[in-house]
């Protein structure tokens, strides 16, 4: 099963108060409306599981594949763990709320879910001069609580400018917000637990504000903020330049730039692959599949060698 083909996946779209229409204009997806904030492109999460579009499991979800065909991911049949990762594309037509995510232990003990949320972002496009929030300036927990309670956002929040091609690593416990005008591909632990710290006092169409989670935010925020050190390395394989963006406890993420041809070895349990620019073909055992911007797939464990040909960029990840 899937020894010589990728497992192609269909994105699941999520409406958000801050969403827009770039998932249509830049990715040609058929989005449900002009407030589409997220495409969950590689997901086995119950809040939006991706469906498989080819091969023997066509029409099943990635979660079904994970639960019923562990061999595709090089796991044992009695492995009880849930699918570990989640890949999304986010279109921030407006600022996202300032938020923070818990770690694994807090998520298990307080929320009863298996994973916390460490995430990272590859900036696909960014309007001129846009900013995001990453970290804070409080030196102690008392100072953090005071600044939050008094709404001293300008004093508390650390703002950072970004441009297309930037990479941002956001460990659990980091206060963060994606700013208006940014489109990112996010690779994260498969979790949907978010504690909202500040939502710009926004109201939705019905006049409602979104819930804040101030106490939990204070409990899980790392104080003082520390910028995570990320060591990046680069490897050239034929026409493929493989840049490792981050390698950490939960995931390793790469940017691949393809210009021509490359023969590749699959030496991981499985790979998550998103085409973020251009067009290419992947050939496995003499069988070719067309890839273009917006295509997402998993290379399962059965695939051991593959060839890439074309001009394209990819974001690739594994556990
Ligand atoms: Zn987040």
CATH assignment at residue 270: 2.60.120.10
In a domain, 263, yes or no: yes
Q: Are residues 261 and 213 in the same domain?
A: no
In a domain, 273, yes or no: yes
Place of tokens 């029409």: 59
Average pLDDT over residues 251-256: 98
Q: Are residues 28 and 174 in the same domain?
A: yes
In a domain, 288, yes or no: yes
* Structural domain count, the chain: 2
Angle at 179 between CA 188 and CA 215, to 5 degrees: 65
Q: Are residues 152 and 185 in the same domain?
A: yes
Give the integer Cα–Cα distance in Å for 232 and 99: 27
Q: Are residues 42 and 185 in the same domain?
A: yes
Measured in degrees and rounded to the nearest 5, phi and psi for residue 104 equal -60, -50
Q: Are residues 267 and 174 in the same domain?
A: no
Of 3, 7, 39, whose CA–CA distance to 21 is shortest? 39
Distance 135 CA to ligand 1 centre (A): 12
Domain that holds residue 50: 7-220
pLDDT tops 90 at residue 77: no
Average pLDDT over residues 99-111: 96
In a domain, 1, yes or no: no
Q: Are residues 26 and 130 in the same domain?
A: yes
Of 177, 138, 178, whose CA–CA distance to 156 is shortest? 138
Percent of the chain residues topping a pLDDT of 70: 100
Q: Are residues 209 and 252 in the same domain?
A: no
Mean of the per-residue pLDDT values of the chain: 96
pLDDT tops 90 at residue 203: no
Give the integer Cα–Cα distance in Å for 264 and 240: 9
Q: Are residues 63 and 141 in the same domain?
A: yes
Q: Are residues 202 and 267 in the same domain?
A: no
Q: Which residues are catalytic?
A: 196
Would you list the DSSP string of 221-234? S-SS--PPP---EE
Q: Are residues 71 and 140 in the same domain?
A: yes
Distance 170 CA to ligand 1 centre (A): 8
In a domain, 103, yes or no: yes
Distance 79 CA to ligand 1 centre (A): 28
Distance 147 CA to ligand 1 centre (A): 21
- pLDDT band for position 157 (cuts 50, 70, 90): very high
Burial annotation 218-232 (CB, 10 A radius, 16+ → b, else e): bebbbbebeebeeee
Average pLDDT over residues 219-235: 94
CA distances to 127, 168, 265 from 132, in Å: 12, 10, 37
* Cβ pair 177, 133 in contact under 8 A: yes
Q: Are residues 184 and 249 in the same domain?
A: no
Distance 194 CA to ligand 1 centre (A): 7
- Domain final residue, candidates 156, 185, 220: 220
pLDDT tops 90 at residue 290: yes
Q: Are residues 242 and 207 in the same domain?
A: no
| ω into 224 cis (within 30 of 0) | yes
């Amino acid at each position: 099963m899937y020894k010589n083909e990728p497992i192609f996946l269909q994105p699941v779209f999520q409406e958000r108060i801050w969403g827009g229409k770039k998932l249509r204009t830049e990715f040609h997806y058929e989005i449900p409306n002009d407030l589409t904030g997220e495409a969950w492109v590689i997901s086995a999460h119950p809040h939006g599981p991706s469906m498989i579009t080819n091969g023997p499991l066509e029409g099943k979800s990635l979660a079904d594949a994970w639960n019923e065909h562990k061999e595709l991911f090089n796991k044992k049949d009695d492995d009880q763990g849930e699918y570990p990762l989640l890949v999304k594309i986010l279109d921030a037509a407006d600022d996202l709320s300032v938020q923070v995510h818990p770690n694994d232990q807090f998520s298990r003990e307080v929320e009863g879910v298996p994973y916390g949320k460490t995430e990272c972002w590859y900036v696909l496009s960014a309007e001129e001069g846009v900013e995001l929030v990453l970290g804070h300036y409080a030196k102690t927990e008392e100072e953090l609580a005071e600044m939050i309670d008094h709404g001293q956002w300008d004093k508390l929040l650390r703002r950072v400018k970004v441009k297309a091609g930037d990479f941002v690593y956001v460990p659990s416990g980091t206060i963060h917000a994606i700013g208006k005008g940014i489109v990112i591909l996010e690779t994260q632990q498969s979790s949907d637990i978010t504690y909202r710290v500040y939502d710009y006092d926004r109201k939705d169409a019905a006049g409602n504000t979104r819930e804040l989670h101030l106490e939990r935010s204070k409990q899980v925020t790392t104080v003082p903020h520390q910028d995570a050190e990320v060591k990046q390395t680069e490897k050239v394989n034929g026409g493929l330049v493989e840049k490792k963006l981050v390698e950490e406890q939960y995931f390793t993420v790469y940017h691949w730039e393809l210009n021509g041809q490359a023969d590749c070895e699959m030496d991981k349990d499985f790979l998550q692959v998103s085409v973020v620019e251009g067009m290419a073909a992947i050939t496995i055992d003499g069988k070719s599949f067309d890839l273009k911007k917006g295509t997402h797939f998993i290379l399962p464990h059965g695939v051991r060698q593959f060839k890439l040909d074309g001009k394209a960029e990819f974001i690739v990840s594994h556990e």
